[in-house]
Amino acid sequence: MCLIVVGWRVHPDYPLIVAANRDEFYARPSAFADFWTDTPEVIGGRDLEAGGTWLGIARTGRFAAVTNVREPGVGKGLHSRGKLTQAFLAGQQTASDYARQLEMRDFSGFNLLLGDSQSLWYCSNRGAEPQELAPGIYGMSNHLLDSPWPKLVTARLGFAQAIAKLPDRGPLFDVLADDEIVPDTELPSTGVPLEWERRLSAIFVRSEDYGTRASTVLTLAGDGQITFEERSFGPHGRALQSSVISTAV
C-alpha cells in the first residue's frame, strides 16, 4: 500500500476512519477484501504470493496497515511486510506490546499502524521509535509518518473535509481517486527515475504494469459497527469490482 490516511478519535461517531490506496504491480496475485477463511474474524484483502495483507481489521476491533519505505537498491528483507499486519490481526497482543516487541530487522523498510480499539500505534524500522498516537489525522506513504510529500498533504486536507460528510463515504473515495500529477518543482526525490517520480506523485496511480489496485474506506463506529468498503482496479485504473462488508465488534 502506498497511501493511507487515518482519523483517530477526531469524529464524534467514528473513533477510527481510514482511507487508503494500495499500489502494487498488477502481476502480483491478490484476493479481494473478504473475511479470511483461515482467520474468520479478520476482514481484508490478501496477498496470494506471501500470504499477508496491506490492511485489515478484525471483529475484535484490531486494525493494522502497512506501507513500504521507498529505498531503491536496498535488498529485500527475510519476510514479507504483509506478515506484520497478518500476525497482529490474528493475535491477541495489545498494539503497544506488539509494537514494542516486534523484531524489525527481518523486514524491508516499513511503516506500520496498529490499533486495538484503546490505542493507535505507529512504528517503523527506518529511524522512528514506536509511538502511541494522540487523537488526530495522520498520513503515511512511502516515507515516515506525516512526511510532507505533496500527495500526502493533499490527501490529509481532503480527508479532513470528507469525514464531516460521513456516513456518506463517497467524498473519501473522491479523495482517493485524485490522479493529478504533481509539478516537477514539487516532486520529492526518492531515488527513482523522474518518469516514475511523476507517476507515483499522484494519489491514484495509473499505468500499464503498476498502479492503484484497491481503494479502501474503513470505519469503526462508536457502537462497534465496522464497515469495510473496497473498490478494485486493473491497469490504467480500470474498475474491476466493489464490495461493502459490514459487521459488529
pLDDT in tens, 62-114: 999 999 998 887 777 778 899 999 999 999 999 999 999 988 888 888 999 99
**Residue type at 63?**
F
Helix-, strand-, coil-residue percentages of the chain, each rounded to 5: 20, 35, 45
Three-class SS state of 210: strand
**What domains sit in the chain, N to C, each tagged with a CATH number?**
3-248 (3.60.60.10)
Residue 1 has pLDDT above 70, yes or no: no
Question: Above 80 in pLDDT, residue 184?
Answer: yes
Q: Distances from the Cα of 141 to the Cαs of 8, 57, 66, 97, 190, in angstroms? A: 17, 19, 9, 24, 12
* Inter-residue contact 161 to 110 (CB < 8 Å): no
Q: How far apart are CA 113 and CA 170, in angstroms?
A: 24
pLDDT in tens, 123-172: 999 977 899 999 999 999 989 899 999 999 999 999 999 999 999 999 99
Average pLDDT for residues 45-54, to the nearest whole number?
A: 92
pLDDT number for residue 229: 98
Query: What does the pLDDT look like over 226-242, one tens digit per residue?
Result: 999 999 999 999 999 99
Residue 204, C-alpha cell as written in the block: 491514484
